[in-house]
Structures are given as structure tokens and as C-alpha cells.
Amino acid sequence: MAQQRTKRITDTVRRRGVINKTWSSSILGGLAGGIVFGILMQSMGMMPTIASLYGLDGATMGWVAHLFHSIVFGLLFGGIVTMTRLRKYADRIAPTTGLGAVYGVLLWFVAATIVMPLWLGAVGMEMPPVPNFDPMSLVGHLVYGVVLGAVFAAAYRR
């Protein structure tokens, strides 16, 4: 009886540790990828456009919104990797970097080519064509995914 109780407590602590590691690795990876991608976006003058998604102005608010998105999408990536059969790759840098690259391309296809143009139109901004296949956006999202995957795996293995 005492052994079963001890095992349950140990399992609970272990699960919480894995969950905390997933959260922290996801946030760290999302921020790292977001900063690298954000530098590219800043150089293209895109940050005010990101701010306008929320009815805000300026590059600073664009950075805030962009990093928020980067964390949210990083958490989604971490959940996908650790809650599926992909979990076996979570602490391996090369495979998780590859998964991040695929994730970045998928994120570009859904969020940047379809959702963002529609969102811009919904808030009264000039609406790009849907789908908006911007090659620089693809490069940025690919870089985001690669950095996200590499940093996630490096943080997860610690």
C-alpha cells in the first residue's frame, strides 16, 4: 500500500517535471526564434503592420505582438512534439530542428498566407491577396522554425 502511494507521488512529480520542462523549453525556443525572425521583419519594416493586427501603432508594439505570437506558436510546437509519438525526438537537436523547419513552413502556409491577410482586412488595413505567397515571409518562418526546434531540443535535454 505504501509502495503504491509512493509510486503515484513519484509519477506525479515526474510528470510535472516533464510538463514544466516542456513549457520552459517551448517558451525559450519560441522567444529565440521570434527574436531572430523579428530582426528580419524589422529590417523589412514589417513591425508596424504586426502592431496594426491589434489596432496598435509603431514598431515597438509590433515587437510586443510578434514576440507574443512567437511564444504561443512555440508552446504549440512543444505540445505537438511532447504529446505525440514525436516525443522520442524532443531532446535530440538534429531531428527536432528538422521538425521545427517543417513546422515553420506549415506555420507560414496557414498563419502568414491565409490568416494574416484576412485578419488585416478585418481590422480595416489594406488586405494583401489571399493566399499571400511572400517568399521573404517563407524564409522568416523557416528560420523561426529552425531556431525554435534547435533551442527547444537543447533546453529540453537539460
Q: What are the domain boundaries of the chain?
A: 2-156
Residue 12 has pLDDT above 60, yes or no: no
CA distance 136 to 91: 30
Instruction: Report yes or no: 101 and 143 within 8 Å, Cβ to Cβ.
Output: no
Q: Is the pLDDT of residue 13 over 90?
A: no
What's the pTM value of the predicted model, to 2 decimals?
Answer: 0.88
Please report the DSSP string for 72-112 in residue order.
HHHHHHHHHHHSSGGGGGTT-HHHHHHHHHHHHHHHIIIII
Pair 37, 144: CB distance under 8 Å: yes
Q: Are 29 and 81 in contact (CB under 8 A)?
A: no
pLDDT digits (tens, 9 = 90+) for 46-103: 999 999 999 999 999 999 999 999 999 999 999 999 999 999 999 999 999 999 999 9
**pLDDT mean across residues, the chain:** 93
